[in-house]
Amino acid sequence: MELKNYTEDNNIIEEIIEGSIAEELEIEVGDILLSINDTPVKDIIDYKYLISDEFIEVSIEKKNGEIWQYEIEKDYDEDLGIIFTNPLIDRAKSCRNKCIFCFIDQLPPNMRKTLYFKDDDSRLSFLQGNFITLTNMSDEEVQRIIDYKLTPINVSVHTTNPDLRIKMLSNKNAGKIYDILKRFSDANLEINCQIVLVPGVNDGDELNRTLNDLSKLHPSIKSIAMVPVGVTKYRERLERITPYSKETANELLNLVFKKQEEFMNTLGTRFVFPSDEFFALTGTTLPEYEEYEGFPQLENGVGLMRLFEEEVVKELSKIKAPIYKEKKYIIATGTLAYNFMCKIIELICKKIEGLELKVVPIVNKFFGETITVSGLITGRDLVEQLKEFSNYDKIIIPRSMLKRDEEVFLDDLTLGEVSKFLNMEVIPSKVEGKSIIDIIKK
């Protein structure tokens, strides 16, 4: 067998899935994937595409430098069971835009470095559901998405007005968005769109234009989520932006309701969905469960509240015999969801006697009081605002306050440290009805 010198740039295998093809072939952790069907593997998209056939030839470099060739018969699209050290294999691509609404540009200094990384990578859109602007891609990369049929792909549109989009994203390539979306549509790719709305900039008539343009690409464009711009207290030297008020948010919702009715008549779908923030800000009743049409944009906070309430009601309906639990729990949330969570605890306390639940809205001192969502609450704000509740048994927080894969808050305080400072157990709950009911019933 041929020997090959080890290089750090190769595709190192970090884990082998138990019971997989790779385990059966004795491919091992530390081995290096060289090629599939004699084609070098540039990244995870190449890998997913190249292994889709029923017969493939795989070249692996073993830890001792030997090159092993495997001829593999498998089901179409069956994975080999290989996990790489870096799931993108090469580094994620950083965003080169300078969007007027960029949240990362509004972060305070001295936070962990990963929080300042702006990703705009089509592979992350495909793998993790991230939204990309398509401004930082070459024509070759656009064609690669089409050729590999990467779908669904999630795109941050914001506006289809070329001049306005160039201004909003501060990128001369930003005006090409509709042409690229049209290419994706012609290739029958599934697309979900996102619009970050800035009052007086891309709402009103501009939003009406954008929605009309995007509707012409339905059904390839499956849904559009609309979220309000987030404005922190760290906007020095940045363009002045006024966040949505109750009045301007109401105007926005009225426009969207009219468009939803129009799209139901012409497309058979509501097509565009405002995030929960608009409903909480205005006090408008949430749409019914069915009106979310399968919740295609949960990652943008579209329908999370309605789905959560439905799940809580479902879990509570499973409690047939009376439950008595003499416990006192704090439910910590962002100020935006305060009224909603008060409604939720009323439902829970009707089913579980003896229980005391208190919702505490955490004011965001770290980023500024204009930031009202739970996912941006820091450990320090929790500690400072919950220390007076020492007579409670436990604190329940939404899991979204923590880093995706670690029990760490945005300000780098750990869950354990916050619990220690408060001298009380802090329990993260998934934003799912079953999760919070299970925690309370324990």
Final residue of a structural domain among 302, 321, 345 = 302
124 part of a folded domain: yes
> Is residue 418 within 8 Å of residue 426, measured between CB atoms?
yes
User: What is residue 311's predicted lDDT score, i.e. its pLDDT?
Assistant: 97
Q: Quickly list DSSP for 236-253.
A: TTS---PPP-HHHHHHHH
Tens digit of pLDDT for each residue in 94-131? 556 677 777 666 667 666 655 544 444 444 444 445 77
Distances (CA, A) of 210 to 144, 168, 177, 207, 303: 26, 14, 11, 5, 22
> Is residue 335 within 8 Å of residue 372, measured between CB atoms?
yes
Distance CA 385, CA 387 (A): 6
Tens digit of pLDDT for each residue in 7-18? 344 678 888 888
What is the residue-averaged pLDDT of the chain? 87
Question: Residue 48 is part of a domain; what is its CATH number?
Answer: 2.30.42.10
Residue 261 sits in the same domain as residue 386: no
3 part of a folded domain: no
User: What is residue 95's predicted lDDT score, i.e. its pLDDT?
Assistant: 56
User: What is residue 349's predicted lDDT score, i.e. its pLDDT?
Assistant: 92
Distance CA 106, CA 233 (A): 8
Question: Of 108-117, 323-332, 401-410, where does mean pLDDT reach its minimum?
Answer: 108-117
128 part of a folded domain: yes
Residue 346 has pLDDT above 60, yes or no: yes
User: What is residue 331's predicted lDDT score, i.e. its pLDDT?
Assistant: 97
Q: What letter would DSSP give residue 301?
A: T
Residue 142 sits in the same domain as residue 244: yes
Residue 241 sits in the same domain as residue 320: no
334 part of a folded domain: yes
- Number of structural domains (the chain) is 3
At residue 99, what is the residue type?
A: C
Question: Residue 198 is part of a domain; what is its CATH number?
Answer: 3.80.30
pTM for this predicted structure: 0.79
Residue 261 sits in the same domain as residue 115: yes
> Is residue 82 within 8 Å of residue 33, measured between CB atoms?
yes
Residue 283 sits in the same domain as residue 384: no
> Is residue 331 within 8 Å of residue 360, measured between CB atoms?
yes
Residue 295 sits in the same domain as residue 313: no
Angle between helices 338-351 and 304-317 in degrees, nearest 10: 10
Distance CA 40, CA 182 (A): 30
Final residue of a structural domain among 287, 302, 317 = 302
CA angle at 249 for the pair 125 and 118, rounded to the nearest 5°? 25
Residue 283 has pLDDT above 50, yes or no: yes
Residue 138: name the closest of 99, 87, 176, 178 by CA. Answer: 176
In the chain, the percentage of residues whose pLDDT exceeds 90 is: 57
314 part of a folded domain: yes
Residue 119 sits in the same domain as residue 79: no
95 part of a folded domain: no
Structural domain harbouring 347 = 308-441
409 part of a folded domain: yes
Q: Quickly list DSSP for 330-353.
A: EEEEEGGGHHHHHHHHHHHHHHEE
User: What is residue 280's predicted lDDT score, i.e. its pLDDT?
Assistant: 95
Residue 144: name the closest of 123, 120, 127 by CA. Answer: 123
Residue 180 sits in the same domain as residue 197: yes
318 vs 113: which has the higher pLDDT: 318
In the chain, the percentage of residues whose pLDDT exceeds 70 is: 89
Residue 275 sits in the same domain as residue 347: no
Question: Of 160-164, 259-263, 387-391, where does mean pLDDT reach its minimum?
Answer: 387-391
User: What is residue 87's predicted lDDT score, i.e. its pLDDT?
Assistant: 52
Question: Residue 361 is part of a domain; what is its CATH number?
Answer: 3.40.50
Final residue of a structural domain among 84, 115, 149 = 84
272 part of a folded domain: yes
User: What is residue 210's predicted lDDT score, i.e. its pLDDT?
Assistant: 98
Residue 27 sits in the same domain as residue 65: yes
Question: Of 65-79, 173-187, 301-315, where does mean pLDDT reach its minimum?
Answer: 65-79
Residue 114 sits in the same domain as residue 249: yes
Residue 206 sits in the same domain as residue 220: yes
Question: Of 105-119, 317-331, 427-441, where does mean pLDDT reach its minimum?
Answer: 105-119
205 phi/psi in degrees, rounded to 5:
-60, -35
18 phi/psi in degrees, rounded to 5:
-60, 135
The distance of Cα 139 from the centroid of its chain, to the nearest Å, equals 26
Residue 3 has pLDDT above 90, yes or no: no
Beta bridge partner(s), residue 82: 16
Compute the radius of gyration of the chain from its Cα atoms: 25
Place of tokens 């590999």: 148
